[in-house]
Chain A
Amino acid sequence: MSEHRCDITLTVNGETVAETVDARKTLVDFLRDDLILTGSHVGCEHGVCGACTVRVDGDVVRGCLMLAAQCNGARVETIEGVSDGGEIADLQTAFEQRNALQCGFCTPGMLLTAQELLASGQVPSREKIREQISGNYCRCTGYHAIVDAIESVAQARAGHKP
């Protein structure tokens, strides 16, 4: 039922958005259905697969476990904005070179989750990388190539020679 509707104002990828949404609408449904930002994906809708990963006020969150109504005043970033801003260009290049994606459905979430780890500036171990992305389900790659790609970016950002 849609008798409960909320007015929200937030920024999405730097643009101010003012909308009226169903109170029950998840953030990812709001992004996809209302703003037509289809780069965030819906995989499980119960917080396990990570395909809906976005950033809210700088933190990586599950777009299916947060309601749009909770985002009033928030700063939301999706893959479209993070990609266009150039922040993860090196990570995207590494994913391409290493074929660290196949169908690509998990990839936007995987990139944002990886960037969260990489932003620390450390060079994490492969185990640490695997742990970091263990909330992001990929059925295609078997993860090895993803770990390779993230590891190579961590080393490059830390100034290691490839």
Chain B
Amino acid sequence: MKIVEDSPPILTALDRPNSYIGRSVPRPNMARLMQGRAQYVSDVVLPRMAHVAFVRSPHAHARIESIDAAAARKAPGVIAVVTGPELAKVITPWVGVLTHLKGLKSAPQNAIAVDRACWAGEAVCAVVARSRAEAEDGCGLVEVEYEELQAVTDPETALDPKTPVIHPSIADNLCFERVHTAGDPDKGFAEADAVVETTFLFGRHTGVCNEPRAIVADWNPGDARLTVYQGTQAPHMMQNLFAKHLNLEEHQIRVVTKDVGGSFGIKVHTYADEMATVALSKLLKRPVKFVADRIESFVTDIHARDHRVKAKIGVKSDGTITAWEIDDLTGIGPYSVYPRTSGIEANQVVNLTGGPYTCGNYRARARVVFQNKNVMCQYRAVGHPIATAVTEGLIELAAAKIGMDPLEIRRRNLIADDAHPSQGPSGIKFEALSHHSSLAHLDSMMNYAGLRAEQEKLRKQGIYRGIGFASFVEVTNPSAAFYGVGGARISAQDGATVRLDGTGAIFCHTGVSEQGQGAEAVIAQCVATSFGVSMDRVRVIMGDTDNTPYGGGTWASRAAGIGGEAAWQAGKALRANVLAVAGSILQAKPETMDIRNGIVVDAATGAERIGLDEVARIAYFRPDTLPSGIQAELVATRHYVPRAWAFAFTNGIQASYLEVDTDSGFVKLLKHWCVEDCGTVINPQLVDEQVRGGVVQGIGAALFEHCLYDDRGQLLNGNMADYLVPMAVEMPDIEVGHVVTPTADSELGAKGAGEAGTAGAPGCVMNAINDALRPLGAAPLTDMPFTPDKILRALKRV
């Protein structure tokens, strides 16, 4: 649990000579990205490649009466115009359900709408042309007649008997409901000295990846193979889904993922237009490319959040929390997204609320309802920003009510660092967490007492600054409990294959994938260390289902913790294999030797015995000189999946310091801190940058980002001028600290770090705003994003 300086000189299996574990080495893949030499899917050009654009429904809910494509078919450059029913002959529909989310239901979704469009933006017709511009011209010539149907847009009334049911094939607009009670919440509330009850709102927002979704599908009837270049987080998952819905075998499909211009959970789902693109390639027997434009991205990239949480907390006057209660309602669009479903986020809200604290009296209900809006699904930190903001918002409101310092109330309720294994109010299991160490670290890192004094002084000058906190837990390293147990063919395990080349360098093929977070570097660090070469002797191969072990890809903060461990073990296995060969060459016992910096050495003295290049030369080119019966095996594969714990929970705490302009309602972020415990830190710089990027993504949700819909289901701000994202000038510097509590489930001990920033930041900023405005008697703000107009309303200035 303590930081490295407390440890003895000879530590663990990680402390190999020349270890890269814990070192901030630069990522090996950055030069091409900085030189304009990357290859994103939007850059891919293939011979005979055509481009598809889609005619999209302008209505949130409409029956498609007719489609007249005659003019479009004659337009310059147009190759084909394909409607939903025509494409349905090539690709089957899908239903986004998981059996472990009991009762979750959804309706079949088609690649292109058949008969009915269920949200404004759903594709109703495809136009394939020689260029994207000509395809878009063609779209403009397609005449679609619609009969507009009543749109269901308000989650609050989605279940009313008088509200139309969106899908006639299912009974109502309820996708999923979960009710959970633990301990004795009624008794807990009865024992409370103070009860705080409020409603938190979390506006819909979306990922706004800088590179929009992009796919090039290349069906080659000559090979009977489909190659799909796709900016996806889960190549093997997509391989399975393409096979299943195109009636192909998985081995007929190769998914290639090169550089990806940001993902954040957006690019881990099945998108109707991408499935349509793949089907069009099969239909037309040539490569077809689809790159979403920004407007399409806003109306088709999954949206996230859109939760209304009624929440209640009971506390005693000494700060002890006595009970929690939440009622979450979330609207998810017309379909549960395939294959991960749109029930996971609400389920996570139930799982995670109250997670850092000891109070086990808990009542929760979550309902997930259908709407005629764009689909909603898992996005960075799934459920955590909601559960954390609700929990931490309640804590600080309760602290204010009983007149207690917000850090002090946390100290009195956070699960003790030595109380593990433990569990949260919902029953989620924690192997080992460090809430109190993290809080203490944050307290000193930010000079909390000094900031409070400054805040007090400035208030007298009419300057309103606020300090807010958010403790959090974060799901990482998921086992099969997330998706596999529910029937989805999404791999929880991951593999690594390491092979020695003819010069003593190594290749590492891994099932996890890169989207800028640094997985390639982390895999290289792990395998270089466990095998015993410098990082420039490691080439990492990823993002190619033909050439990597079967794996899950990159989501739920799993690449370092799961993929890293597989690479670590594979490197060790190859080291043993190489030492066996070296032993036979040198007539030495393999267990007396080691590989260090590319050279086989005597383990005890470090004396050099033979270079890896020489081992490789003999094994590959002069195996005749090896003793009979010795077969060199210079490839090793290992897999890893967490088994002891369903998830490796991480924890941490964030703080925000900001100033509210009480005349304009603008919030100026002054500084942000995060202390994070992600277990073994493989690359401190990459962890810090994951945290910083995640924090800013959470700040976006807190202050700016909102997909605004009208009551007819029209997105009002689907462009980057009206939908605001965090830009540099509004963002603060972010200080990151660490506490290290490794998971014992793996030798590496690494947990994930990709989502913690996003989990904690929104609640933290909310608390800081309310702290700033408290002396002015403003009603607490609980409706994200906290735009200037809402702040002025809370101040009764407008």
Contacts and interface: CB of A to CB of B under 8 A. Distances in A.
B692 interface: yes
Contacts of A45: 293-294
B773 to A, nearest CB: 25
B10 interface: no
A104 B261 contact: yes
B208 A146 contact: no
A98 to B, nearest CB: 8
A2 interface: yes
Nearest to A109: B210
B720 A48 contact: yes
B261 A1 contact: no
A119 interface: no
A45 B532 CA distance: 47
Interface string A39-76: 11111111011010000000000000000000000000
Interface stretch (B24-32, B218-226, B598-606, B659-667): B24-32
B3 interface: no
Contacts of A37: 36
A134 B34 contact: no
A49 B211 CA distance: 10
A157 interface: no
A41 B35 contact: no
A32 B131 CA distance: 13
A142 B692 contact: yes
B693 interface: yes
Contact of A103 (B37, B133, B211, B721): B211
B689 A99 contact: yes
Interface stretch (B323-331, B368-376, B389-397, B515-523): B515-523
B292 to A, nearest CB: 11
B736 to A, nearest CB: 9
Contacts of B293: 45
Interface residues of A, number: 60
Interface stretch (B268-276, B505-513, B608-616, B726-734): B726-734
B34 A138 contact: no
Given A79-B35, A99-B685, A142-B696, A134 B729 contact: yes
Interface residues of B, number: 61
B707 interface: no
Contacts of B719: 44, 46, 48
Contact of B720 (A36, A41, A44, A130): A44
Contacts of B680: none
A105 B262 contact: yes
Contacts of B695: 142
A95 B35 CA distance: 12
B303 to A, nearest CB: 16
B232 to A, nearest CB: 14
A102 interface: yes
Nearest to B736: A144
A2 B76 contact: yes
Contacts of A143: 696, 726-728, 731
B42 interface: yes
Contacts of B686: 99
B727 A39 contact: no
Contact of A49 (B33, B210, B516, B729): B210
Given A83-B35, A101-B516, A107-B34, A145 B689 contact: yes
A57 to B, nearest CB: 20
A142 B734 contact: yes
A41 B34 contact: no
Contact of B729 (A40, A48, A78, A130): A130
A15 to B, nearest CB: 15
Chain A CB count within 10 A is highest, among B212, B727, B730, for B727
B311 to A, nearest CB: 29
Nearest to A142: B696
A99 B26 contact: yes
Contacts of B210: 41, 43, 49, 51, 103, 105-106, 137-140
Contacts of A123: none
A122 interface: no
Contacts of B131: 33
A43 B211 contact: yes
B36 A38 contact: yes
16 contacts: A36-B45, A38-B40, A41-B40, A44-B720, A83-B34, A97-B26, A102-B516, A103-B515, A105-B211, A131-B729, A137-B727, A139-B697, A139-B725, A140-B262, A141-B693, A147-B728
In the A-B complex, the 7 residue pairs with the closest CB atoms: A39-B36, A104-B33, A103-B516, A102-B516, A105-B261, A142-B696, A79-B36
Given A24-B133, A143-B728, 11 more contacts: A2-B133, A38-B40, A41-B210, A44-B720, A45-B294, A46-B721, A96-B31, A102-B518, A103-B211, A139-B209, A143-B731
